[in-house]
Amino acid sequence: MKWIQEKNECILLPNFRLPTHIHSRSANAKWLTEIAHRNPIWIHTKDARRIGVDNGDLLKVKTEIGWLLIKFG
């Protein structure tokens, strides 16, 4: 497979999840509930500099099936 990347595109790898709520055993942990619905975005520092992204910036991530707003950092 050959990756074709446009000038201002980055490769998106949505292939992991953070282990916050595991089964139902952690459902009552208040601090886990506060962070469980935050999806992190990790960008290499070189890519962040190239596209002008700083910690705390609100990013719109678009894919073929939709988009989401997420805070970087």
Per-residue pLDDT 10s for the chain (73 aa) are 455 566 667 766 666 666 666 666 776 777 776 766 666 788 888 888 888 889 889 888 887 888 888 888 7
Give pLDDT, residue 2: 54
Residue 51 included in any domain: yes
Q: Is 16 inside any structural domain?
A: no
Q: Residue 52 belongs to what domain range?
A: 41-71
Domain count, the chain: 1
Is residue 63 situated within a structural domain? yes
According to DSSP, the residues that pair with 71 across neighbouring strands are 58
pLDDT value of position 35:
67
DSSP codes joined into one string, 5-40: --TT-----------SS-TTTTTT-HHHHHHTTPPP
Q: Please check whether residue 48 lies inside any domain of the structure.
A: yes
In the structure encoding, which two tokens stand for residue 17, read together?
Answer: 């999840």
Give residue 40's pLDDT. Answer: 73
Is residue 45 included in any domain, yes or no? yes
Question: In the beta sheet, which residues pair with residue 66?
Answer: 63
Which tokens go with 25?
């055993």
Q: What pLDDT, on the 0 to 100 scale, is given for residue 69?
A: 84
